Amino acid sequence: MSGTSVAASGLPAAIAARLDVARVRAEFPILATRVHGKPLVYLDNAATTQKPQPVIDALSRYYRAENANIHRGVHYLSQLATDGYEGAREKVARFLNAASAREIVFVRGATEGINLVAQSYGRSVLRPGDEILITGMEHHSNIVPWQLLAEQTGTVLRVAPLTDAGELDLAAFDRLLGPRTRLVSVVHLSNALGTVNPVRRITAAARGLGIPVLVDGAQSAPHLGVDVQALDCDFFVFSGHKLFGPTGIGVLYGREALLDRMPPWQGGGDMISSVTFERSTWAALPAKFEAGTPHIAGAIGLGVAVDWLSAIGLEAVVAHEDDLLRYATAEVGRIPGATLIGTARDRASILSFALDGVHAHDIGQVLDLEGIAIRAGHHCAQPVMQRYGVAATARASFALYNTRAEVDALVAGLAKVKQVFAQ
């Protein structure tokens, strides 16, 4: 069950302070929305989270009072924007416990971060016959970039299998970690199954063989809390919009020694030291990987989001979400005909399920008419669906502003689904 995810996140397993959910909810204007005449019950947080007022205000303030291009102007506003952007990098570095802000590269999101590593690190290091090892529970964003790389470099993609409960088969993983493995890329918290992977166990095994590990933290960064030094990973990616921040901004963390050796990914302004028609040289980290004008407002908004989340405290968030997941698992689990997809011992914030005789889209449709937002589909993880023999699942995913009353609304909604589709 989910009770051990506090330990898995690298946070102290202290008794967390109680989360003041009413106060948290009051910071999210959108949660007052009514849908089809019913109060919105937003349970699609794994797709994207809603935004608190301080993040919305930061975006608005930036465009009202601080907007300019960064790193090039001597004028007042350019300095203000640069300070805001670089200040956000410092905030993210603290949030992830990176050794230095130079290890924080702003990208569009987790997907772009993985593509950057594949195209920069992968293309410069990998040779035909080399292997990349992923797991059977990856999101398409941690499969397809490696397939593209495999086509370009003649490398081979290996996939560690899952157990029936939705856990990584560690014995099989260890066997696949071989002399030809050059990179391991694993999801921290599965978006389709809710499984928390034993990342420290994985990085320890890879470290012994000198193999770098990329961790896809799109779901874990907002729901587990992350310490990249404790995880001992080499790369870590996450998306701002799943962490109460804006869309279009995300983070690639990379160990400085690795980022230093990697060639640039995209060329353009801001990433150079000098340019002539014969030859250009690259800027120092992290500018080397940030060609062109970045999403300045987005980075500033993300900086506000990580500070906002840290101020609430990840321990309290994890405890609250674990309680919701335990409650939802029990309540949905007792519905006749309901099957949970993903029953790993260590899970967090995500409940994937199927109802006998009712397709996930129809579940999602009936719930929507009750004001309840869930995700129905393959969750960009088609191989996971194939592994468990389902075309699609319904997924409720929780965030710190959700309540047990909303879980009750979900269960009542599912009773309605069953009534509509009763034999």
Partner 1 sequence: MTELSALYQDVILEHNRSPRNFRRMDDADRHAEGRNPLCGDQLTVWLKLDGDVIADVSFEGSGCAISKASASLMTAAVKGKTRADVARLFERFHGVVTGRAAGEGQSDGLGKLAVFSGISAFPVRVKCATLSWHALKAALENGAEPVSTE
Q: Is 415 in the site for partner 1 (CB under 8 A)?
A: no
Q: Which CB sits closer to partner 1, 384 or 396?
A: 384
Size of the site for partner 1 (CB under 8 A): 20
400 three-state secondary structure: coil
Alpha-carbon span 326 to 314, nearest angstrom: 18
158 has which bridge partners?
133
Rounded to a whole number of angstroms, the minimum distance from the CB of residue 152 to partner 1 is: 24
Q: Which CB sits closer to partner 1, 271 or 363?
A: 363
Instruction: Report the chain's terminal Cα–Cα distance, integer Å.
Output: 33
C-alpha dihedral sign at 243, 321, 372, 360: positive
Q: Which CB sits closer to partner 1, 324 or 373?
A: 373
Rounded to a whole number of angstroms, the minimum distance from the CB of residue 136 to partner 1 is: 17
Q: Which CB sits closer to partner 1, 40 or 156?
A: 40
Structure tokens at 26: 């009051």
Half-sphere CA count of 172, side-chain side, radius 13 A: 13
Q: Is 36 in the site for partner 1 (CB under 8 A)?
A: yes
Residue position matching structure tokens 């990249």? 228
Q: Is 40 in the site for partner 1 (CB under 8 A)?
A: no
Rounded to a whole number of angstroms, the minimum distance from the CB of residue 357 to partner 1 is: 8
Burial 229-255 (b: 16+ CB within 10 A, else e): eebbbbbbbbbbbbbbbbbbbbbbbbb
Rounded to a whole number of angstroms, the minimum distance from the CB of residue 358 to partner 1 is: 8
**Which residues lie below 8 Å from residue 342, measured CB to CB, with a gap of 6+?**
165, 166, 190, 192, 193, 194, 195, 350, 352
Rounded to a whole number of angstroms, the minimum distance from the CB of residue 359 to partner 1 is: 4
Look at the chain and count its residues: 423
Whether 380 is catalytic is: yes
Q: Which of 291, 316, 380, 390 is catalytic?
A: 380
Closest CA to 134 of 183, 101, 97: 183
Q: Which CB sits closer to partner 1, 94 or 359?
A: 359
Q: Is 325 in the site for partner 1 (CB under 8 A)?
A: no
Q: Which CB sits closer to partner 1, 242 or 375?
A: 375
Q: Which CB sits closer to partner 1, 35 or 101?
A: 35
| DSSP letters spanning 250-269 | EEEEE-HHHHHHSPPSS-ST
Rounded to a whole number of angstroms, the minimum distance from the CB of residue 378 to partner 1 is: 4
367-396 residues near partner 1, rule: CB under 8 A: 369, 376-378, 382, 385, 391-392
Binding mask 347-366 for partner 1 (x = CB under 8 A): ----------xxxxxx--xx
Structure tokens at 211: 């193999």
296 three-state secondary structure: helix
Q: H helices within 137-287, ranges in order? A: 144-153, 170-176, 199-208, 220-223, 228-231, 256-261
Rounded to a whole number of angstroms, the minimum distance from the CB of residue 379 to partner 1 is: 10
What's the Cα-to-Cα distance from 165 to each of 150, 186, 341, 342, 383, rounded to whole Å? Answer: 30, 18, 8, 6, 15
Residues that bind partner 1 (CB under 8 A): 36, 357-362, 365-366, 369, 376-378, 382, 385, 391-392, 420-421, 423
Catalytic residue annotation: 380
